[in-house]
Amino acid sequence: MGRKLGLDLDQVVAAATQIADSEGLGALSLASLASALGVRSPSLYTHVDGLDGLRRQLTFHAARLLTVELTDAAEGLEGTKALTAIAVQLRSFAHRHPGLYETFLPAPTPDEDPDLASALEGPVKLVGSVLASMNIDPIHVIPLIRALRSAVHGFIDLELHAGFGLPDDIDDSFTTTINLVIETIAAVEEKAMLDQA
Amino acid sequence: MGRKLGLDLDQVVAAATQIADSEGLGALSLASLASALGVRSPSLYTHVDGLDGLRRQLTFHAARLLTVELTDAAEGLEGTKALTAIAVQLRSFAHRHPGLYETFLPAPTPDEDPDLASALEGPVKLVGSVLASMNIDPIHVIPLIRALRSAVHGFIDLELHAGFGLPDDIDDSFTTTINLVIETIAAVEEKAMLDQA
DNA sequence: TTATATTGTCTAATGTCATTAGTCACGCGA
DNA sequence: TCGCGTGACTAATGACATTAGACAATATAA
């Protein structure tokens, strides 16, 4: 006993990710994680500040991963193409990492946990910058970001939690949903350009 | 000890609702509920089948309450007016009963829990009947219901879990979000009527 | 190379919760 | 008044999280 396994935070987070994504975030306990790592649960306190700390680290990991994925997805695209690519990639992330996706809510306020709050801003800022380059009246930007986020997140959340009764054509429904919002955004852009002229 | 308090299921569910709505569904335990009722936790097994059974009863209660509220809200309205009224009332329900709202997800599949699944269909059917009376190509009905549900649920979920960083004008953003979807639905209806002619 | 400090794991103990089994008081109907 | 069912109870078990403190393995310094 007492031998060192050389366990570090990355391995802990990787194993936690595995559990959360395959069995659900709710199934991630210090006990289950310790067991997966071949260690006793108190040992995890060396790497992580209890269960809350573990979840916090998982959220950081998720935010970093997602930010990279979305940035790559939008790479070289502009306007509605970029928005669509981001939405599709976010849904793909949620499918591949349902446990990590779950860690995004509830989100901490900036005064509760400034570091985590700012890590979570990455994706929001990305969408914001796309809209900023889209010639939209600044007054409309925030409501439109929220509409898009709501539609995409709502769809994913319902999909992940069996909210849609019928299994048919879920991909089609997703396309309809995001096109509906993104085309409206494009229409607002059009209008802004006409008003300018 | 051993005196009968005449506790019944309604009182149990009412107290559970109170806890879930004020402290969050996660704070609803048999221990906290028993304590609120002045009773020991094993006593609750007389009224409810464990914690899972309690949550199930809470979901039934929530579904009944919501179905009544939405039906009343849509009373006498048609088309986009009805859809707007339903969306607004759903958000209001979520504000007044965040704990009950949370019980709607995850939703059981019809073969897991047929009774509960059918209780949850109430609100969905209501929206379906509004759309059915709206002269929309049946092929589009399901995707449009899903788009509306996604947008409304996503907005509520983000709002309840502090997903929106800025506090400004959340009501406005909600209006924007649902108008965006509902106006698109109206446009699809228009188009269907033109095609008919 | 040996002594020392640090690090990572362990065992032991406590407290909270859900759950099950079995006990017993209350009050209604015969 | 008797008896019996209902609805509470206590006791016990097992899964967790968490803290404290022991100890072995490694890294560092003399």
For A184, the closest chain B residue by CA position comes to B180
How far is it, in rounded angstroms, from Cα B92 to Cα B71? 14
Q: Which residue among B105, B169, B184 places its CB closest to the CB of A161?
A: B105
B87 chain-A contacts, CB cut-off 8 A: none
Tell me, yes or no, if B129 comes closer than 8 A to chain A by beta carbon. Answer: no
Distance from CA of A58 to the nearest CA of B (A): 17
Q: At B42, list the tokens.
A: 């094993």
Cα angle for residues B130, B132, B135 (degrees, 5° grid): 110
> How many residues does the structure list for chain A?
197
Calculate the angstrom distance between C1' of C12 and CA of B44.
Answer: 34
d(CA B73, CA B76): 9
CA distance A84 to A66: 16
Tell me how crowded residue B73 is: count the other CB atoms within 10 A of its CB.
20
Q: What is the pLDDT of residue B4?
A: 61
Per-residue pLDDT for A125 more than 70?
yes
Position A1 scores a pLDDT of 42
A150–chain B Cβ distance below 8 A for any pair: yes
The mean pLDDT of chain A is 94
Q: Is residue B26 a contact partner of residue B102, using CB atoms and an 8 Å limit?
A: no
Answer yes or no: do B142 and A173 touch at CB < 8 A: yes
Cβ A86 vs Cβ A130: under 8 Å: yes
**Tens digits of residue pLDDT in A152-168:** 999 999 999 987 878 87
The predicted-structure confidence for B159-173, as pLDDT tens digits, reads as follows 999 878 788 799 999
Q: Cβ–Cβ of A153/B154 closer than 8 Å? A: yes
Partner-chain residue, chosen from A121, A149, A158, that has the shortest CB–CB distance to B158: A149
Task: Name the CA radius of gyration of chain B, rounded.
Answer: 20
* Helix (H) or strand (E) run with residue B36 in it: helix B30-37
- Looking at per-residue confidence, does A130 or B4 come out higher? A130
Q: Residues with Cβ < 8 Å from A164, sequence gap 6 or more?
A: A158, A170, A173, B146
Nearest CA in chain A to B142: A173
Instruction: Kindly give the parts of chain B with pLDDT less than 70.
Output: 1-5, 197
Percent of chain A whose predicted confidence (pLDDT) is above 90: 87
A25 has a pLDDT exceeding 70? yes
Instruction: Round to whole Å and give the CA distance between B90 and B156.
Output: 9
Q: Tell me the residue type at B164.
A: F
CB-based contact, A168 to chain B, within 8 Å: yes
Q: What is the pLDDT of residues B29-53, one digit of tens each?
A: 999 999 999 999 999 999 999 999 9
Q: What is the pLDDT of residue A2?
A: 46
Q: How confident is the model at residue A35 (pLDDT cuts 50, 70, 90)?
A: very high
* Chain B residues within 8 A of A144 when measuring between CB atoms: 176
